[in-house]
Amino acid sequence: MGTKGKLNRDTFYEKFHQEGCKRLTIPLEKIEHLQNTIDILEFITAELLRISKQRVPQYSRLLHARMLIGDANQDLKRSANGNITQTQHYKGAV
């Protein structure tokens, strides 16, 4: 493995160990936001249960769960603000 591969692997593990929690921004200003939230939370609950039962190393399950929560955060904000792009934020929420 070259230096670049080792650097990428080291960066991955560094990032993995630094992220201990994830945030969800849940817009609830309109009744439509409530249904969007229910749909997305039902989906991530089912996925988290599936992830927890996988027979892979713990770091892999945690990484998958963090990615799932990050995607759900974007989906909640996007659906609340009429399909905003990945680079925009719902009312300034990051």
Residue 71 belongs to some domain of the structure: yes
Number of structural domains found in the chain: 1
pLDDT of residue 83: 60
Residue 39 belongs to some domain of the structure: yes
pLDDT of residue 20: 73
Q: Residue 19 CB: number of other CB atoms within 10 A?
A: 11
pLDDT of residue 55: 94
Residue 11 belongs to some domain of the structure: no
Residue 4 belongs to some domain of the structure: no
pLDDT of residue 21: 81
Residue 1 belongs to some domain of the structure: no
CB 72 within 8 A of CB 61: no
Cα–Cα distance, 44 to 30 (Å, whole number): 21
pLDDT of residue 34: 93
Cα–Cα distance, 13 to 54 (Å, whole number): 20
The pTM of this model reads 0.70
CB contact set of 46 (below 8 Å; sequence gap of 6+):
none
Residue 94 belongs to some domain of the structure: no
Structural domain span for residue 71: 29-82
Per-residue pLDDT of the chain (94 residues), as tens digits, is 455 556 666 666 666 666 678 888 898 888 989 999 999 999 999 999 999 999 998 888 988 998 899 899 888 888 887 665 555 566 655 5
